[in-house]
Amino acid sequence: MFSTHFAGSRPHQTTTISLLGIRQEPNEPLRTFIDRFRKAALRTPHLNQEMILQCMTLTLQPGPFANNVYLHPPTSMHELKLRAADYVHMEEMQTLHTKFCNDYAANTSNPTPNPTPQPHPRPDTRPREPRQPRFTRYAPLTVACSRILDEALQADLLPHHARQPHLLTPT
């Protein structure tokens, strides 16, 4: 009962035909595809070099590396790895070059001005409308507001600019 219930979650053994289903995606780098193909080939039992070379050749995306493999088929996995390493290096350099050129073009077309330190903005001295109360009901105070403010000022809980005479008058 247990094995039939969980049979779908057990790992399936890959076959040589399943290697043909692993295709290089259109914008997938060669390095990523080779790593993915290599992992699948390692899970596949009873493979020989010729089968791996044929499957790899058939699943490559058209491009310079595929053209090279088609024109001069590799005779061993070692030869394929050496050629692939050259093309991987070439792809990575092209990507780096393109990124550098795009970044350079973006920086030259939109040059950012030299950041100069801005003076602190002056406080806004315009008269403002009084703020509305945040809550509709407040707990009544049992002590005078002036006493609360005096204690807060003595304990340095309020900044010095808050010591304004209109705050000290009870409302």
Tell me the average confidence (pLDDT) per consecutive run of 10 residues in the chain, 171 residues long: 62 77 88 90 86 88 89 89 91 88 73 59 74 77 82 77 54 51
| Pair 39, 86 in one domain | yes
Range of the domain at 161: 142-171
| Pair 97, 156 in one domain | no
41 contacts 52 by C-beta, under 8 angstroms: yes
| Pair 27, 93 in one domain | yes
Closest CA to 16 of 49, 42, 50, 51: 51
Q: Which two tokens stand for residue 102?
A: 């795009």
- Look at the pTM and tell me if it is higher than 0.75: no
> What does the pLDDT read at residue 85?
92
Count of structural domains within the chain: 2
Task: Please report, for the domain that includes residue 76, its CATH number.
Answer: 1.10.1200.30
> What does the pLDDT read at residue 32?
92
Residue 21 lies in a domain: yes
| Pair 103, 149 in one domain | no
| Pair 82, 165 in one domain | no
Residue 132 lies in a domain: no
Residue 31 lies in a domain: yes
Instruction: State residue 107 phi and psi, 5-degree precision.
Output: -75, -35
> What does the pLDDT read at residue 1?
57
| Pair 22, 91 in one domain | yes
Residue 130 lies in a domain: no
> What does the pLDDT read at residue 106?
72
Alpha helix (H) ranges present in 46-144?
Answer: 49-59, 64-71, 77-109
Domain boundary among 89, 107, 125: 107
Residue 124 lies in a domain: no
* Residues ≥6 apart with Cβ < 8 Å to 8: none
Residue 25 lies in a domain: yes
> What does the pLDDT read at residue 49?
87
Domain boundary among 83, 107, 131: 107
| Pair 20, 75 in one domain | yes
Amino acid at 7: A
